[in-house]
Amino acid sequence: SRSSWCCCGQTFKEHSAIHKHVARTHDTEIQQLTQATYKCLLNQLEEEPEAQQLNERKSRPVDICVWIPETGHTSEDGPGTVLLYYHYCQLEDPHVICAWQKALCEKLHLTGKVRVATEGINGTVGGTNMATNLYIEAMCSHPLFKMDKEDFKTSDGGAECFTDLRIGVYKEIVPMGVDPDVISYQLAGVHLEPEEFHKEVEALLAEGDSCSDTILLDCRNFYESKIGQFTRCLAPDIRKFSYFPDYVDQNLELFKDKKVLMYCTGGIRCERGSAYLRSKDVCKEVYQLKGGIHKYLEQYPEGFYRGKLFVFDERYAISSNSDVISDCRYCSCPWDKYELCSTQFCCQLVLSCPSCRQNGHTACCPTCQTKGQAKSEASPAVLHHKEECECTCGRPRIPQDMPFICFKHKFTDSLKFE
């Protein structure tokens, strides 16, 4: 059957007839449609090269070898260093950075822990002085990071300070438990250089108990601040940094109209912690110590930070002054050297002096000690990882803190509580 076309109530059976009708009757409409189609095609042609380049970049395999320095033979022997660093920046493909970090650390015989996310990188690694220097050079020369040598905190150590090498991709580079897209590090408080922070603490101490509008806030975990802290600080009794947001939420009145000076080990927890605190819009001002306690102690080893600095490796702590501010769990004599609880899979840290350890007090609490003895005498059984004990069950998850005027007395009393 032959085709036919209908238009304007008429039927056309020939191509020439419908063409003449359209040309005579719908000329204006055809021109408008033609121009619109042309513009659409033109836009597609302009966008195509950019989209094509983007797809090519995504599909093209990344040669991570170009980011690894030529080292020849890197010795695994010699004096060593432990590095601590972080850097916030946008990473489109954190898995590529993760693969590069693994290859780089393995080539340099480094051990440690590195967290990679779309928001940046956070790591602590140990190795020989030569290897850690090459690692710093690789990080500083990488086009995505553009870090400076001053961004790295160093301490005496080496590969032996870590049991292995752990590198992975995560949602956050520091686990606060809040989506970085909701509370970004870009909302962080004002960064104070160690000299500026030192002056602020000096002024706070000079005013004594009469100063009620400033809070010196330690945003680390209780077992860290237990062995070292700034004089006259508020050290929340929390076990994990992921509890910090809840701590802030339940103590908002404490921070109302206050000037807050925050600090942590290397600065990264303050980035997110100060951002969260500022998001509550209750503080007058929020400041943070740039580079953390690590950088402060480089300039002020005998400054206002007293005791040991807790570190997350096999050393547990490093020191810059001789003060011992904590006590033995069992006899209360001055002691600040942590050991792991002797009960298998407990994973709690305990302060037990040599004398008490010789007397068998090697667990984190009496309950754990009894549990450990019972299991060693009984036949082997299936053990659960990270068992609960007095230390965890008896501790409030989120403490309610008292007014600032009582902080000094509160913390002195709590030093004897494990």
Query: Which residues are catalytically annotated?
Result: 264
Alpha-carbon distance of 72 to 70, in angstroms, equals: 6
DSSP 8-state symbol, 9 = T
Pick from 135, 129, 120, 187: nearest CA to 158: 129
Q: Are the C-beta atoms of residues 216 and 306 closer than 8 Å to each other?
A: no
Q: Which residues of 381-402 are buried (b: 16+ CB within 10 A; e: fewer)?
A: eeeeeebebebbeeeeebbebe
Pick from 160, 223, 264: nearest CA to 349: 223
| The CA-based dihedral angle spanning residues 159, 163, 169, 171, taken in that order and rounded to the nearest 10 degrees | -110
Pick from 220, 122, 124, 123: nearest CA to 173: 122
Q: How many CB atoms lie within 10 A of CB 200?
A: 18
Q: Which residues of 280-312 are buried (b: 16+ CB within 10 A; e: fewer)?
A: eebbeebbbbbbbbbbbbeebeebbbbbbbbbe
Strands 120-128 and 259-263: unpaired
Q: Are the C-beta atoms of residues 114 and 105 closer than 8 Å to each other?
A: yes
Pick from 370, 377, 369, 375: nearest CA to 352: 369
Pick from 303, 31, 313, 83: nearest CA to 194: 303
Indicate the length of the chain as a whole number: 418
- Specify which residues 5 forms β-bridges with: 12
Alpha-carbon distance of 273 to 248, in angstroms, equals: 9
